[in-house]
A and B are shown apart, each in its own frame.
Chain A
Amino acid sequence: MSNNIETAKFRPEICTDENLVYRKPSTLLPEPFHYCPGCGHSTVHKIFMEVIEEMGIENETIGVAPVGCSVFAYHYMGVDMQQAAHGRACAVATGIKRVQPDKYVFSYQGDGDLAAIGTGETIHAANRGENILVIFINNGIYGMTSGQMAPTTLEGMVSTTSPHGRDVKTQGYPLKISELLAPLPGVAYITRQSVHKPANVRKAKKALRQALEYQKKGLGFCLVEIVSNCPSNWRMTPAQANQYIEEKMLAFYKLGDIKVPEVK
């Protein structure tokens, strides 16, 4: 909003209704993002809040923010939110959804939160078929603590705790948690998307909307994985980081639907 106000002040002739080609959704709060330039979080926040606005469900949605860079998601998403302990977002979301089954409930989690410390909560929420949406941001690194190896760090990828590149013999293999969850009967929908190109942003947004539609129908656990970046801790420019997604991340983490409900 601050940018819009500034523009409106200095170039009022431009800011007219007939010239409106883009605006941020009303569900995105007027707070400047703290995310680094080029980070995928901002894009995912925006498209998800667009979905909430378009579905008209901002008064019936409760979100759970994790520990990690997106711990402050509640500063930006204009819906009721709870901040969870590290890894416990799926348990907190379970608690919310079980006592408010008529509300839309989502968690927003990074790879360390969801696929390392929170693996147990994630698998069991999925296996119980908790009727929630998990938005899973996979950038292969711990962002908030400045670039340590994550469960999803690619083989050979450099991080501060794998400075010679991830050695799978001693540090384990990158975990495809989406593929791990997909066979569970409680899981309705799992898809892997990205936001590194405009076309992918549109697809990711569609997937997020689809997941909420499934939640409305009570189909069960939905997870939208978004392969993202971390320019700061990957030590790259935003453009280089998106190039790395294209060349390296997507070669291992293939985009597309991993599980779709049989009855839509």
Chain B
Amino acid sequence: MGEIKLMKGNEALAEAMIRAGCDAYFGYPITPQSEVLEYLSKDATQRTGMVVLQAESEVAAINMIYGAAGSGRRVMTTSSSPGISLMQEGLSYIASAELPCVLANVVRGGPGLGTIQPSQADYFQAVKGGGHGDYRLIVLAPSSVQEMVDFVRLSFDLAEKYRNPVMILADGAIGQMMEKVELFDQMPRKTEFPDWATTGKPKDKERRYITSLHIQPEKMEEINKHLQAKYKQIEDAEVRYEAFNLEDAEYILTGYGLGARICRKAMDILREKGYKVGLIRPITLFPFPKKVYESVAGKVKGILDVEMNAGQMVEDVKLSVCGKTRVEYYGRMGGMIPSPEEIVENFEKLFIKGEA
């Protein structure tokens, strides 16, 4: 049993970063995730020797990440929606150069400067690309403060295993709420670095260089094929999800992160009302858990996708069931959080009373 603490999501994430043996954090303040940089600024460097640097912008921060990740170190940055938008060019470079790193997006309502309230409106940006070119992030969606801790360590492992950037796609509520967490023990920082890292030309080996520029299209196509093969491998091996009450389910609620938490309550209410309702909660948004949706397609009467956006993940749910089951969406936008009662009401309206 690890140390138990009552912690805010953002602070738990920062504590997990220190304990995971992170070598460097580069970030820039933005609500609702500024606690991460504040927490690290207190004593992270004294505790493990890790670098903590407040960059002049998110653009600079992601490029510092590039440099430090290219040095073979465990590195992480965090931001919220507008800041993550600024990082997209850098992320594309990082994905192309196959540099492992972790970033967390504590999502707020948009578009534009939007609001500082919780939102899930950055699903497309996180899962479908965001920056230029054909690349993928591995995307993990925590729905509790405990997962803000657990997913940091998991993200570093996945990033290093696949040499790929990993995003923890949280939201303002998960970042700001306080919950009991169990922390893992302090892990040592790395003392050995991968062969590809630029740590100074080895005496008896070729020097290394990190680039995403391959001016010959034949070569660039090869790079793309290599990346796509890697993403396929990730899709085969790294799908994570939670499912509840699928055995007897006639209807499915589905959502991720905070949305899934609210759906659990809605599922309980609906079950009490006598409806046989199950829940699918994707944990990895890329790779998307297509197969679990395929397994219920054609068997259940309907799937209600609940999101704090205009309906983004619902597209992936629809692609997974491939027209075999009716898929509906309900959500709130711009920083508003749907209540379990609202979900119940809309479920009944759509599937039971047949109004739609």
Residues of A at the B interface (CB closer than 8 Å) are 58-62, 64-65, 71-72, 74, 78-85, 88, 91-100, 103, 120-121, 124
Q: A62-B198, A81-B210, A91-B63 are in contact. Are A99 and B90 (CB under 8 A)?
A: no
CB contacts (< 8 Å) of A72 on chain B: these are 213
Contact with A along B201-219 (1 / 0, CB 8 A): 1110001111111000000
Q: A85 to B63, Cβ gap below 8 A? A: yes
CB contacts (< 8 Å) of A93 on chain B: these are 67
Q: Please, could you name 5 A-B residue pairs with CB atoms under 8 Å apart, sorted by A?
A: A74-B209, A80-B207, A83-B209, A98-B64, A120-B60
Pick from B71, B199, B208, B212: contact of A95, CB under 8 Å? B71
- Chain B CB within 10 Å, residue with most, of A59, A83, A120: A83
Contact with A along B34-74 (1 / 0, CB 8 A): 00000000000000000101011101110111111111010
CB contacts (< 8 Å) of B212 on chain A: these are 83
Q: B68 to A96, Cβ gap below 8 A? A: yes
Give the B interface residue count (CB, 8 A): 39
Contact with A along B88-99 (1 / 0, CB 8 A): 011001000100
Q: What is the CA–CA distance of A93 and B60 in the complex, to the nearest angstrom?
A: 11
Q: A95 to B198, Cβ gap below 8 A? A: no
CB contacts (< 8 Å) of B328 on chain A: these are none
Q: B67 to A95, Cβ gap below 8 A? A: yes
- Chain A CB within 10 Å, residue with most, of B53, B75, B210: B210
Pick from B57, B66, B209: contact of A92, CB under 8 Å? B66
A261 to chain B, nearest CB (A): 24
Q: B200 to A103, Cβ gap below 8 A? A: yes
CB contacts (< 8 Å) of B26 on chain A: these are 95
Q: A84 to B63, Cβ gap below 8 A? A: yes
Q: What is the CA–CA distance of A98 and B73 in the complex, to the nearest angstrom?
A: 11
B24 interface residue per 8 A CB criterion: yes
Residues of B at the A interface (CB closer than 8 Å) are 23-24, 26, 51, 53, 55-57, 59-61, 63-71, 73, 75, 89-90, 93, 97, 198-203, 207-213
Q: B200 to A121, Cβ gap below 8 A? A: no
CB contacts (< 8 Å) of A80 on chain B: these are 198-201, 207-209
Pick from B53, B70, B90, B200: contact of A82, CB under 8 Å? B70
CB contacts (< 8 Å) of B71 on chain A: these are 62, 95-96, 99-100
Q: A95-B26, A98-B24 are in contact. Are A59 and B203 (CB under 8 A)?
A: yes
Q: What is the CA–CA distance of A44 and B89 in the complex, to the nearest angstrom?
A: 29
Q: B203 to A82, Cβ gap below 8 A? A: no
Closest 5 CB pairs of A and B: A95-B67, A95-B64, A91-B63, A80-B198, A92-B67
CB contacts (< 8 Å) of B59 on chain A: these are 88, 91, 120-121
A161 to chain B, nearest CB (A): 23
B163 to chain A, nearest CB (A): 15
Q: A85-B89, A99-B73 are in contact. Are A91 and B203 (CB under 8 A)?
A: no
CB contacts (< 8 Å) of A121 on chain B: these are 56, 59-60, 63
Q: What is the CA–CA distance of A214 and B271 in the complex, to the nearest angstrom?
A: 72
CB contacts (< 8 Å) of A83 on chain B: these are 97, 209-213
Q: A98-B68, A100-B71 are in contact. Are A60 and B200 (CB under 8 A)?
A: yes
B72 to chain A, nearest CB (A): 9
Q: A84-B66, A98-B24 are in contact. Are A103 and B199 (CB under 8 A)?
A: yes
Q: What is the CA–CA distance of A46 and B197 in the complex, to the nearest angstrom?
A: 25
Q: What is the CA–CA distance of A98 and B65 in the complex, to the nearest angstrom?
A: 11
Q: B213 to A95, Cβ gap below 8 A? A: no
Q: What is the CA–CA distance of A58 and B66 in the complex, to the nearest angstrom?
A: 22
Task: Output the nearest chain A residue to B66 by Cβ-Cβ distance.
Answer: A92
B165 to chain A, nearest CB (A): 14
CB contacts (< 8 Å) of B61 on chain A: these are 91
**Given A83-B213, A91-B61, A95-B75, 13 more contacts at CB 8 Å?**
A72-B213, A74-B209, A79-B200, A80-B200, A81-B208, A82-B66, A88-B59, A92-B64, A98-B53, A98-B64, A99-B75, A100-B71, A124-B55
